[in-house]
């Protein structure tokens, strides 16, 4: 039996536009983000069959998930394991400022620059992986939507791809969908598609 996972990054926030680290700060969707969530949900109802919708507890993810859930008359189930990475002292700071202060810094090596009190990458990967694994075991043979965050999703992709994709390699856009299949019998993850954002207006 297989479970198909639609792993979705939340819609746009003001901090996304300002290029600030959000981390676990509870920033809501902005006007564009709400419109993106609605368009995303319209696509889900047209193209996919979903039996459950899960989300991080942070507003930007939950608000995105609620749009999808409404289309299928489902309730959003919160899982704290889907939360964004804790970026410690970087939260609220502009990415460009960090790059200027620490040339060469990017998501793949950020732990090596300064003492920012960031959630260690191996702990982030383990947290998100265990959350997704727990959820898929509840939904054998079903299609499910999980709404999370850029760094958290990339950490999961890094884990299941054995490092072929992930932070510093893969760019995830707002409301981009990554499609992943979990084969329960083989205990195997299959990445079908990464960051399908064909529904987003350019």
Catalytic residue annotation: 10, 84
User: Residue with structure tokens 């979990």?
Assistant: 182
Burial zone of 169 (CB within 10 Å; 0-12 exposed, 13-18 middle, 19+ buried): middle
H or E stretch including 145?
A: strand 143-148
Chain centroid to CA 64: how far?
11
Burial zone of 101 (CB within 10 Å; 0-12 exposed, 13-18 middle, 19+ buried): exposed
């Amino acid at each position: 039996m297989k479970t198909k996972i639609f792993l979705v990054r939340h819609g746009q926030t003001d901090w996304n536009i300002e290029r600030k680290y959000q981390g676990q700060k509870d920033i809501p969707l902005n006007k564009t983000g709400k419109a993106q969530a609605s368009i995303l949900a319209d696509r889900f109802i047209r193209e996919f069959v979903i039996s459950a919708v899960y989300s991080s507890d942070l507003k930007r993810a939950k608000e995105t998930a609620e749009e999808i859930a409404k289309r299928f008359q489902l309730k959003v189930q919160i899982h704290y394991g889907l939360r964004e990475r804790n970026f410690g002292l970087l939260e609220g700071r502009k990415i460009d400022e960090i790059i200027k202060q620490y040339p060469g810094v990017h998501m793949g090596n950020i732990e090596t620059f300064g003492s920012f009190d960031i959630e260690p990458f191996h702990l982030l990967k383990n947290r998100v992986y265990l959350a997704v694994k727990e959820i898929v075991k509840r939904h054998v043979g079903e299609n499910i939507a999980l709404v999370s965050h850029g760094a958290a999703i990339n950490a999961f992709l890094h884990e299941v791809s054995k490092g072929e994709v992930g932070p510093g390699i893969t760019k995830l856009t707002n409301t981009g969908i990554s499609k992943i299949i979990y084969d329960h019998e083989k205990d195997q993850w299959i990445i079908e598609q990464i960051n399908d954002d064909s529904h987003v207006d350019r």
